Structure 1
């Protein structure tokens, strides 16, 4: 392995009054102050150098920045001095600083907030001596030597790897579930690492704990050269892995959306797996899209040969539209590995089923037949708990959350009511709090209720070896820790679970080899939801869930089975199901894009939300109306529509009232110009009388939902 980037050279002797340096420091999200400050140091330092500087009464970590702060610079002798230079580390790369600056401008945040949040929390607390101790404990550079041989590629896979190597723009890898996209990623990465002895690869996944098989495959292929970056690491682990990436010791970085900020001085390939997943969009702080920033980062490094691959069986409509327009290169993997057939869709009309049945009799019989043959079934119900609400039939009382505009979910096993939004919990009342009726009724169904129903319905069924059938559940309640999740997944892979009940986490990238039947129990809520992205998300969820069935062609042939996707719906004639039956994502996407074009919705328009949170809804709406008035006359205003402020779908969350204002424009530059000029005025409004009761506000560019 070549030597890592060198640290800063020793500083020459001090001379004169020194020089003024621009340093970005952490600032409150909406403090209204420039996070780029000037400090004095005896010598010039390269941009990207980490320093410790005084900020008020504290000493904080800062980054020497290539841009000067706005306004006239104060005299050098009036500046506070840099207290310490972390010279043991090489400066952050120029492209990293450029990415941070772009994100701060685009998402309307302070550059210091973005830059410091992108660094490991443990690094922000270290002084030079502490950093030296951490560096001394780092292992040597890993060698990207394969620990496991690469399997042969199909012709389609080989063509995809070649297309990535020759790409002059982002690649959208559109592959059927089970088509071998992961192997394409791995072999494309191997080519990059073989061509350049210092090259680095970044692989992003939606949720690292939901794809343990991928992590195992990456480590088996590239050995000790792999590190992970995600929120599940301890602060010490996260710092160690970040340092390995920054020093060039790690050749492959695998992580969630936070990994898009990793300092990688020789980055040459970025992979975004399951690029459609909404988990890539942060919902706090700088509300950024890691997928979009990956595209921006690769574009800025294109002159160095960096490429980006976005992979999915159900691409986001934004990415699909970009590929249809020629801005992305579309590469397809239409067939499953080994010739495995795609699942057949079976629609069950709920209007013709017994009243109140959790599972249609035909579906229950199909599950029984599969399990009796030694196969596995997966049931998808995207609602955890036993029932969404507990109600009184006499007076109409329902179990509402005292802090949110939501119901408390009934968890039968714990005899508890829980809010899945704010975390509030309460014991199940012995009687109705309003009228005293002791006969409280659970309404609706959750994964706990479905699990209980299956245990009763399959109690007399036996596996081929004569043992009782085993039901498993995978949701946020059974997988509260990474260890619990991996244990449950291991049980499924070993065949210890015959029927797996779960929420959408069961549909994300798992390579279950013995599942032959997948059933969506109650997906109709998304067909007519107020969220305009709901059809896109439902189609992706059902296609991805169905893709868990029949992945092992040899097993299917030995069983003589055909993979099936069953859907219980009261609307079997809905066009979404017709496209799903054909596995026709292109047709579904074309229909959805035409609807969005007619409605002027993304990707044919560009949006931002101004959100306000206050003690009362009236205060939030009043501040938003005042904010809207401040936009008059600003650059870009003529091309931007500002809609009236409205309460959010969930008005009250954790005791806070919430409202929002939508901005929309067919011209992205006009929207960005307006936001840039508007943001300083919003900071100034913070102290206005109309802001009384306002707790916080935030701008969300390219929101995923309202």
Structure 2
């Protein structure tokens, strides 16, 4: 089996394998119709297929004589299913390979911190490629300090450096990628004077802004503070709530370059079954000069004529939700950089940020994965985050906010009274979820750190059983997850 993180990468991967193996290849992913999925499944079951390619669900393909599972871009979060039944395709792949005495091969230019840690501790073997597969050089990375742009009167999303680089790219008949990680409103407070976000004093995580309360909240420990008038770091009144969407980025680009043909790729434009293939195919066929989009444009695509990648708001990547926000940001920056200069001409990458001194930005500029890993693993060990613990999430949803809060607080009391066994703790929360209301349902959660997996599983099972027995309201939904 060959797993890829995005459905959009499946045709590209299938084409490569068919050019080498011709026959015996099946494709699995969630966008197949039930009939297509049945036909592929039966062909595999009957031994007519030797290679299965697809997204995470392909890990379940019934290959009878399994010899190897390849997981491409193993660091991608899309391998973890957040819907029931929740599963991690990497864990399923490891389980299947162990049972079949098969080889598990994980591939990535930016391995997850957890995977690299397994290599460092001898649980996995590591092999490194010292050159790009295309044989080209690593693109040059340039950082633009957006504080200076703002101070000089440039209020555009595009720095003067980016505008000039785009102009040169279009004049040369080449293509450009423009990456913006968020579609819309941003939930963090950023200082345009010092470039720092407002952080939790206990968790070293970004505080999230809740508009309805005009407060900043830590979604790990529950610390909260009124939205300050001045930056806690530098004391100046430069705090903003940056909200940059792909539509605004598209509009500004069109005003700068009215004659340039542009394709936008985000969840608003990818609405049909064939939208991925249509947009990527048009760009690959040079029907557009620019592909602008969210992180889906940065994942493994091969565009030989792209010589410039512009990342508009690095800060929106640095200050996302979760203990591993910096890891995701670093991976995305390097993956986006990797889309540039894959042909004969050397590529260029422009990073726009209010915080050019941030360690993620500096390590990404130098393409220094090992330096980033060493810094990150020290922070994880200091703060007791994975891989040094497991994280359990208990989530309660209800249309009645008071009911949801009451249930989650009773769950916390039950944990404290009955489940504080060896290896469990600390327990954080209850606290409102990062998105506190979804589909008219209020969301609360508890986060549990555990040095060992088995006690955490027993706790989760016990809480589910207790809650289902004691809470009779149909207006309550309970979800549990480990290491999401």
TM-score by length of 2: 0.84
Residue from 105, 110, 126 that aligns with 1:314: 110
Kindly tell me: are residues 515 and 491 of structure 1, through their superposed partners in 2, closer, same or farther at Cα, counting changes over 3 Å? same
Q: Post-superposition shift, 1:634? A: 5.4
2:323–2:385 CA contact under 8 A, matched in 1: no
| Match of residue 63 from structure 1 | none
Secondary structure of the 2:454 match is helix
Match of 1:218 among 4, 14, 17: 17
Distance across 2 between alignment mates of 1:506 and 1:494 = 16
The aligned runs of 1:560-579 (5 Å cut-off) are: 562-579=346-363
What's the counterpart of residue 545 of structure 1?
A: 336
Q: Secondary structure at the match of 1:374?
A: coil
Separation of aligned partners in 2, 1:586 and 1:210: 27
CA distance in 2, matches of 1:210, 1:505: 10
- Mapping of 1:122-521 within 5 angstroms? 202-302=1-101, 306-353=102-149, 354-384=153-183, 444-459=243-258, 468-521=259-312
> 8 Å contact 1:314–1:585 — kept in the other structure?
yes
* Alignment partner, residue 686 of structure 1: 471
**Which residue in 1 is equivalent to 2:428?**
643
Cα separation, 1, equivalents of 2:358 and 2:419: 44
Deviation at 1:643, TM superposition (A): 2.8
Secondary structure, aligned partner of 1:333: coil
Q: Tell me by how many angstroms 1:635 deviates.
A: 7.1
Aligned pairs, number: 430
CA distance in 2, matches of 1:257, 1:548: 23
User: 2:424·2:450 contact (CA, 8 Å) conserved in 1?
Assistant: yes
**Deviation sequence 1:399-425 (CA, Å, 0-9, x none):** xxxxxx899xxxxxxxxxxxxxxxxxx
Q: Say if 1:627 and 1:685, in contact at 8 Å, map to a contact too.
A: no
CA deviation after TM superposition for structure 1 residue 685, in Å: 2.4
Superposed displacement of residue 222, structure 1: 2.7
Higher relative contact order (CA 8 A, sep 6+): 2
CA–CA separation in structure 2 for the residues paired with 1:287 and 1:523: 31
Given that 2:10 and 2:54 are in contact with CA atoms closer than 8 Å, whether structure 1 keeps it comes out as: no
Between 1:640-649 and 1:655-664, the stretch displaced more is 640-649
Shift of 1:214: 1.1
Counterpart check, 1:669 vs 2:471 = no
In the TM superposition, residue 340 of structure 1 has moved relative to its aligned partner by 0.9
Residues 204, 256 of structure 1: 8 Å contact kept: yes
Aligned ranges 1:4-19 → 2 under 5 Å: none
Matching residue of 1:133: none
In structure 1, how many angstroms separate the alpha carbons of the residues matched to 2:253 and 2:419? 61
How far apart, in 2, do the equivalents of 1:582 and 1:523 lie?
A: 16
Mapped partners of 2:89, 2:25: distance in 1 = 20
Q: Secondary structure at the match of 1:571?
A: coil
| Counterpart contact for 1:274–1:311, Cα < 8 Å | yes
Gaps in structure 1 of 5+ consecutive residues: 1-201, 390-404, 408-442, 460-467, 557-561
Per the alignment, residue 660 of structure 1 pairs with 445
Change (3 A) 1:238 1:338: closer
User: Distance between the aligned counterparts of 2:3 and 2:272, measured in 1?
Assistant: 21
CA RMSD of aligned residues (A): 2.3
1:695 to 473, 476, 479: 476
- Structure-2 change in CA distance of 1:674 and 1:478 (3 Å): closer
Structure 2's unaligned 5+ residue stretches are 188-209, 213-241
The answer as to 2:373 corresponding to 1:589 is: yes
Deviation at 1:472?
A: 2.1
Shift of 1:381: 1.2
CA separation of 1:321/1:503 partners in 2, compared to 1, >3 Å: closer, same or farther? same
Deviations 1:566-611 (A, max 9, x none): 0111111111111112111111011111101000111100121111
CA deviation map 1:131-154 (0-9, x unaligned): xxxxxxxxxxxxxxxxxxxxxxxx
